[in-house]
Amino acid sequence: MSILIVVDNPHDWPLDLAGVDVVSARAYLTDPAYGEWRSVKAFNLCRSYRYQSLGYYVSLLAEARGHKPLPKVSTMEDLQSQNLVRLLTEDLDDLVQKSLAPIKSDAFELSIYFGRNVASRHDPLSHRLFNRLQAPLLRAHFERHRDQWQLRSVRAIAASDIPPAHHDFVVEAATAYFTGQRRHTRKRPAPRFDLGILRDPGNPEPPSNARALQRFEKAAAEVGLAAEFITRADLGRLPEFDALFIRDTTYANHYTYRFSRRATAEGLVVIDDPDSILKCNNKVYLAELLTRHNLPAPRTLMVHPGNIDRIIPHLGLPCVLKQPDSSGSLGVDKVESEPDLLARVGALLQKSELIVAQEWLPTEFDWRVGILDRRPLFACKYFMAAGHWQIVKREPGRRGYEEGPVKAVAVAEVPEEVVKIALKAANLIGDGLYGVDIKQVGGRCYVIEVNDNPNVDAGNEDGVLKDALYREIMGSFVRRIEARKLGTPR
């Protein structure tokens, strides 16, 4: 990806950065050649971002050209309102107090160069402010009142505002920033697009294990994507990327959903998209959807306070209770007696107006069919944990869990009815990446659920396709990005 620094006058540009093209704002706006460039990051360092100024139009046209400007026009508008700036940064108070505690004066200006400050102790605060207010060069003004530091204003600055004593440091910070976005590209063509892979290093049950994440990164480079692992602290960086791949467990009321919504609003290709997260994370919705479209599922009852007495006559015992936002084995219980049923239903209805009750269908394993772009991608048999009725066994009061074995199966060897029903169920949700769980009882198949965030673990789901599984998923991102940039349907 090409890097452009756009300034008012290149002759006044004081820094020497390797591998970076410096161009005047007027040339960028008027020379048709720049409009033909593809895969460009345009760092707008003009003196003014006021409405309809050269700096304003640089970012505006960059967005129209499919380039990735920093700052975006929306950021320029945000910076005009100091009230909005304070609103965007109000949750940083603890970090502000910690960072500025050694300062003796009652006023302080923090210069932020590509997310860094010349004093390393201010780097965490600088990084967080840069993530929230995506402009290459910022200056934040703080004042102390009653022993508490308060952010008074933040403004974007031009290269001419950088003190000469800071020039070498800015070169270092900018170089580190540029190269940090272009890792692992040696011996390969320069990547065409940027992919953020969202993960939580502290999640004990991530949807992809460490080896799988490494293989995703390798496959991304092979198909022309520069993949970078990001975390929940990087919400403000989403405009840097062309696509977002969520590899943390998704929930509706969760930071993963906020990332998905923000990325979609920024025009990124997103898997999992926000609609899929909302639909797949609510078992009430899925049960109603499957019923409406006549897809086979276990006998199901939507339970509310007025029909609890219908559960046993309709489903019998044992039966399975699911809280609407259950995930995997969490929030899913088998009840075997009426007292246990009434107690558990009462507890679940305290949290949700509706819950799901289903008949219990014991099987040795569940089918999992992975669907991508409305086509079957992989298939597995998920066997039940030893001595347990679920794939995952958890002991009350104990940390950790036990999983049953996983056996990858070639899609061509999966019963035709299983694949057919899995495709129908996934296609009701969208065209993303899904894992459809199906129970096969005798000659009949039953859809258990559609997962928007299916596991792709090295050693399990990739047992048949190996590295091709990761390349296929990364290739889908490339096809989606290309289609979006060309404005054509996939």
pLDDT at 367: 97
The stretch 195-200 carries a mean pLDDT of 96
CA 484 from centroid of its chain's CA atoms: 18
pLDDT at 84: 62
pTM for this structure?
Answer: 0.68
The stretch 38-45 carries a mean pLDDT of 86
Q: What is the amino acid identity at position 53?
A: S
CB 333 within 8 A of CB 283: no
CB 178 within 8 A of CB 20: yes
The stretch 289-310 carries a mean pLDDT of 93
Looking at every residue in the chain, the average pLDDT score rounds to 88
| 404-437: pLDDT as tens digits | 999 999 999 999 999 999 999 999 999 999 999 9
Q: Look at residue 189 and tell me whether its pLDDT is greater than 70.
A: no
Count other C-beta atoms under 10 Å from residue 330's C-beta: 13
- As given in the structure block, the two tokens for residue 188 are 């390969």
**390-396 own/partner pairs: CB under 8 Å, 24+ apart:** 390/329, 390/332, 391/328, 391/329, 391/366, 392/328, 392/329, 393/329, 394/329, 394/330
Q: What is the amino acid identity at position 98?
A: K
pLDDT at 190: 61
| 444-480: pLDDT as tens digits | 999 999 999 999 999 999 999 999 999 999 999 999 9
Q: Look at residue 481 and tell me whether its pLDDT is greater than 90.
A: yes
| 42-92: pLDDT as tens digits | 898 888 888 778 888 888 888 878 888 888 887 887 777 777 676 667 778
pLDDT at 346: 93
Q: What is the amino acid identity at position 284?
A: V
**Domains of the chain by range and CATH?**
2-179 (no CATH), 189-273+472-486 (3.40.50.20), 363-451 (3.30.470.20)
Rounded distance between C-alpha atoms, residue 196 and residue 228, angstroms: 5
The stretch 87-102 carries a mean pLDDT of 84
**478-481 own/partner pairs: CB under 8 Å, 24+ apart:** 478/192, 478/193, 478/223, 478/224, 478/225, 479/373, 480/243, 480/269, 481/193, 481/242, 481/243, 481/269
Residue 410: φ, ψ to 5°: -60, 135
Q: Look at residue 373 and tell me whether its pLDDT is greater than 80.
A: yes
pLDDT at 273: 95
| 140-171: pLDDT as tens digits | 999 998 889 999 888 888 888 899 999 989 98
Please, what's the largest Cα pairwise distance for the chain? 83
pLDDT at 219: 94
The stretch 28-39 carries a mean pLDDT of 86
pLDDT at 210: 95
| 313-353: pLDDT as tens digits | 999 999 999 888 766 566 788 999 999 999 999 999 998 88
The residue among 128, 86, 114 whose CA lies nearest residue 20 is 114
Name which of 26-35, 45-54, 183-192, 382-391 the model is least confident about. Answer: 183-192
- pLDDT confidence bin for 220, thresholds 50/70/90: very high
Taken in order 21, 24, 29, 31, the sign of the CA dihedral is: negative
